Amino acid sequence: MPTKIISYNVNGIRAAMTKDLCGWLEAANPDVFCLQEIKATPDQVDVAAFEKLGYQLFWNPAEKKGYSGTAIFTKHKPKHVEIGCGIPIYDFEGRVIRADYEDFSVMNVYMPSGSSGEERQDFKFKWLADFYVYIQNLIKTIPNLIIVGDYNICHRAIDIHNPKSNAQTSGFLPEEREWMEKFFTNGFIDTFRHFNTEPHNYTWWSYRAGARGKNLGWRIDYQAATMPMKERLKRALILPDAKHSDHCPTLLEIN
């Protein structure tokens, strides 16, 4: 039976719920729903609205109120849920949560942005180095792994509407793109590009200058699968019509 995974940076779950996130979720009906940038703790949210749809809810909010955080809502009961990655500076910000099922695992990540300045860009580079080591170790024990979420990096020029003018912009820096290249050549498949090599497919748009209406976007949200999952990949899509956030969801279906 296929499993449908949807990943979505909701840019604040409470704000997204005022735009009928629950109605959209009921229609989309994923088996596993991964949220980034929830910006809330469970006690601040109408959790019953999601439970009514048949989801078990697992949260990893940031310690800082109204900031960052990840969650996995799942219709299939996981055999284990891992909150965090065991590195305190990232776990403090609620950046990683993983659900292990019988024959695969889904890790949901909200990678840091470096756009607010040098200090956060340095934090992002440190994260990239640490996360890479963490993942390479993890896939030795969990070979069937899907890492979904907001990576905050465009991999290639095809993934950004204006590569030339953004060549020195956080999210498209040469070092960040090199990291993505290393990641996708050392055990991971970019599932969207596995099925779709067309340009103009984006997952995030600036709120400025009507960027979304003109489709002037960036593809910074991914669902990456390990090589042993390759034969199980059924389809991968971007869902730009969902408008609860400055991001849109990504979808992956596996057999």
Strand partners, 71: 35, 59
Residue 109 near residue 95, CB atoms below 8 Å: yes
Q: How many CB atoms lie within 10 A of CB 50?
A: 21
Residue 198: which residues within 8 A CB-CB, separation 6 or more?
none
Length of the chain: 255
DSSP secondary structure letters along 110-167:
EPPP-TT-HHHHHHHHHHHHHHHHHHHHHHHH--SEEEEEE-----SGGGBS-TTTTT
Residue 246 annotated as catalytic:
no
Query: Which helix (H) or strand (E) segment is 184 a member of?
Result: helix 174-185
Query: In the Cβ-directed half-sphere of 115, how many Cα atoms lie within 13 Å?
Result: 9
Strand partners, 60: 70
Catalytic option among 20, 100, 103, 150 = 150
Q: Which residues belong to the active site? A: 150
